[in-house]
A and B are shown apart, each in its own frame.
Chain A
């Protein structure tokens, strides 16, 4: 069970090897990619920033919760920080388990929780030259939408 940050492209081939387990019958992975649009705006690049010390602790708590909820073998999540271009990989989640069902469920649980809880921030840069911190700037006027209650921005 490990959560970590990558400051350059995520090496998924070696990440996958960390999930190999003689008792596992399969593995599921999720890749989050930088998309060229969000909420009607044309996106040209993203910047990710993290409070790494706390983010690693919180990320590992998410993974431990996943293991507690689902009978999985191993789980790993790697998140990028820095400037990312279109189609770059922002996050990778992998889970191995005895049967496929719990691997799909745990993988979904992990990515959803990471988006909601782990102190990572994303700044979008738009075609029109604007930029903004996702979940921070467009809702800055609204006092009642704590990030804990907002739907994750789908990717």
Chain B
């Protein structure tokens, strides 16, 4: 009689925010760049912390006393000067039983939805789960889940002279996800890109993700496959939100056939939505 092999539980996922970069093109420390008064590093750590239980910051030797970084548990590079690949290896060595949600600290547009999708789609049987980069279509190593078994292969890769985590992932068993949001993986390397990111993030509801509660009834409920959900969105108006969800769920009814309610009252489609709004799309009614 053949016994089924026990399937080990997947490794727990910890967060690793990479903040050891030289910031040479920015000409100032990227981790300390402020968005709405909060350092970029703090924003990234807080974001990761909403999805994993423990978050560490990856730093080079000598950065451990820096006040921007020292607020967080640190993992100090075990080898000098090796770039992100050394940061990832150092984390895998420090906690060999954990998988790592590895994030660059300079992704100001990264969203909860993108991390949730990454963690939901994670395949622990592979080396890593990563998004396809919008630039060039290669896997993005710095917004990815790295599994414990990557440690040995990374060591061998570096011993053979390799240093690029992206090239490493290209030739390994990696699950590649299509990005949920084109902007989510845009990083900020130069003062010009930082200025543009500040403008985009400060321009209010147009780009600032909101959390909306959506309830579905009747045909909409059947087509969405759920009666309610909370969505994170940048949709400025009720009309934009419908377009977004229609694309997601392939609703057959056009917006012209529906009415919309916000917070349990009929609304116009041009209404600006704010975080916390409860939205219902009302298909043609048929009481009596």
Which A residues have a C-beta under 8 Å from some C-beta of B?
32, 48-51, 53-54, 57-58, 79, 90-91, 111, 114-123, 133-137, 139-140, 143-148, 150, 152-153, 155
Contact = CB atoms under 8 A, between A and B. Distances in A.
A147 B283 CA distance: 8
Given A91-B287, A133-B219, A155-B288, A143 B256 contact: yes
30 contacts: A32-B288, A50-B287, A51-B215, A51-B217, A53-B264, A54-B261, A54-B280, A79-B287, A79-B288, A114-B288, A118-B287, A119-B280, A120-B287, A121-B283, A121-B285, A122-B286, A133-B219, A133-B283, A134-B286, A135-B286, A136-B219, A136-B284, A137-B252, A139-B257, A140-B253, A143-B257, A146-B256, A146-B284, A147-B257, A153-B288
Contacts of B256: 143-144, 146
B285 A117 contact: yes
Shortest Cβ-Cβ A-B pairs, 5 listed? A147-B284, A120-B287, A121-B218, A135-B284, A134-B286
Interface in B244-288: 252-254, 256-257, 259, 261, 264-266, 280, 282-288
Contact of B288 (A51, A133, A143, A152): A152
A49 B288 contact: no
Nearest to A141: B252
B287 A136 contact: no
A118 B285 contact: yes
B225 to A, nearest CB: 15
Interface of B: 215, 217-219, 221, 252-254, 256-257, 259, 261, 264-266, 280, 282-288
Contacts of A49: 217-218, 221
Contacts of B257: 136, 139-140, 143, 145-147
B217 A111 contact: no
B179 to A, nearest CB: 31
A51 B219 contact: no
Contacts of B254: 143
A32 to B, nearest CB: 5
A12 B170 CA distance: 71
B288 A91 contact: yes
A134 B261 CA distance: 20
Contacts of A116: 285
A144 to B, nearest CB: 7
Contact of B265 (A57, A115, A123): A57
Given A136-B253, A140-B252, A145-B257, A57 B264 contact: yes
Contacts of A122: 286-287
From A32, A133, A135, name the one whose CB has the most chain B CB atoms within 10 angstroms: A133
A134 B219 CA distance: 10
A95 B10 CA distance: 65
A119 B217 contact: yes
Nearest to B221: A49
Contacts of A58: 266
